[in-house]
Amino acid sequence: MKNVLVTGGAGFIGSNFVRYLLTHEPNVHVYNLDALTYAGSLENLRDLPDPNRHTFLHGNICDQALVERVFRDYEIDLVVHFAAESHVDRSIFEPDAFIQTNVFGTFSLLEAAKRAWLDRSPPSSEVRFHHISTDEVFGSLHPDDPPFREDTPYAPNSPYAASKAASDHLVRAYGHTYGLPYTLTNCSNNYGPYQFPEKLIPLMILNALEGKFLPVYGDGKQVRDWLYVEDHCEAILLVLRQAPLGESYNIGGGNQPTNLEIVESLCDILDEVVPNSPHKPHRRLIRFVADRPGHDRRYAMDITKISTQLGWKPKHTLAEGLLATVQWYLENEEWVEAIRQRGDFKAWMQQNYAQRGERP
Query: Which entry of ligand DAU, ligand NAD, none binds 39, CB below 5 to 8 A by partner kind?
Result: ligand NAD
3-state helix, strand, coil in the chain (%, to 5): 45, 15, 40
Catalytic residue among 135, 225, 230, 231, which? 135
Residues in 204-223 that interact with ligand DAU by CB under 6 A: 215-217, 222
CB 187 within 8 A of CB 134: yes
Q: Phi/psi of residue 84, each to 5°?
A: -170, 160
Instruction: Quickly list DSSP for 109-155.
Output: HHHHHIIIIISSSSPP-S-EEEEEEEGGGG----TTSPPB-TTSPP-
Comparing every residue's Cβ against ligand DAU, the nearest one is 134
Task: Say how far apart CA 109 and CA 104 lie, in whole Å.
Answer: 9
- Does residue 210 have an active-site annotation? no
Q: Is 39 in the site for ligand NAD (CB under 6 A)?
A: yes
| Residue among 45, 57, 62, 166 that touches ligand NAD (CB under 6 A) | 62
Starting at the edge strand found earlier in the chain, the sheet holding 78-81 runs 54-58, 29-34, 3-7, 78-81, 128-134, 182-187, 248-251
Burial class (CB in 10 A: 0-12, 13-18, 19+), 70: buried
Residues 72-111: x where in contact with ligand DAU by CB under 6 A, - otherwise, as a string: --------------xxx-----------------------
Tell me the per-residue interface mask from 266 to 295 with ligand DAU, x by CB under 6 A, - otherwise: --------------------------x---
Task: Please identify, using beta-carbon distances, which residue of 68 and 261 lies nearer to ligand DAU.
Answer: 261
Per-residue 3-state assignment (H helix, E strand, C coil) for 245-298: CCCEEEECCCCCCEHHHHHHHHHHHHHHHCCCCCCCCHHHHEEEECCCCCCCCE
Residue 139 near ligand NAD by CB under 6 A: no
285 vs 299 by CB, closer to ligand NAD: 299
Is 211 in contact with 283 (CB distance < 8 Å)? no
The span of 28-36, 121-129, 170-178, 297-305 binding ligand NAD (CB under 6 A) equals: 28-36
Which among 276, 84, 91, 106 is positioned nearest to 174, based on CA atoms? 106
- 160 a catalytic residue: yes
Contact residue for ligand NAD among 20, 56, 82, 249 (CB under 6 A): 82
Give the whole-angstrom CA distance, residue 41 versus residue 61: 16
User: Interface with ligand NAD includes 156 (CB under 6 A)?
Assistant: no
What does the DSSP assignment read for 11-29? Answer: SHHHHHHHHHHHHH-TT-E
Give the span between the Cα atoms of 211 and 191, in whole angstroms.
22
- Member of 1, 29, 36, 212 binding ligand NAD (CB under 6 A): 36
Contacting ligand NAD within 164-193 (CB under 6 A): 164, 187, 189-190
Choose from ligand NAD, ligand DAU, none: what does 250 bind? Cβ within 5-8 Å by kind: none
226-255 footprint of ligand DAU as x/- string (CB under 6 A) = ------------------------------
Stretch that binds ligand NAD, among 12-20, 211-219, 236-244, 276-284 (CB under 6 A): 12-20
* Of the residues 44, 134, 163, 250, which one makes contact with ligand DAU according to CB under 6 A: 134
Contacted by 132, from ligand NAD, ligand DAU, none: CB < 5 to 8 Å by type: ligand NAD
- Window contacting ligand DAU (CB under 6 A); options: 15-23, 60-68, 105-113, 195-203: 195-203
Say whether 168 is catalytic. no
Query: How far, in Å, are 60, 166, 260 from residue 34 at the CA level?
Result: 6, 21, 34
Report the catalytic residues. 135-136, 160
Tell me which residues touch ligand DAU (CB under 6 A).
Answer: 86-88, 134-136, 188-189, 199-200, 203, 215-217, 222, 224, 259, 292, 299
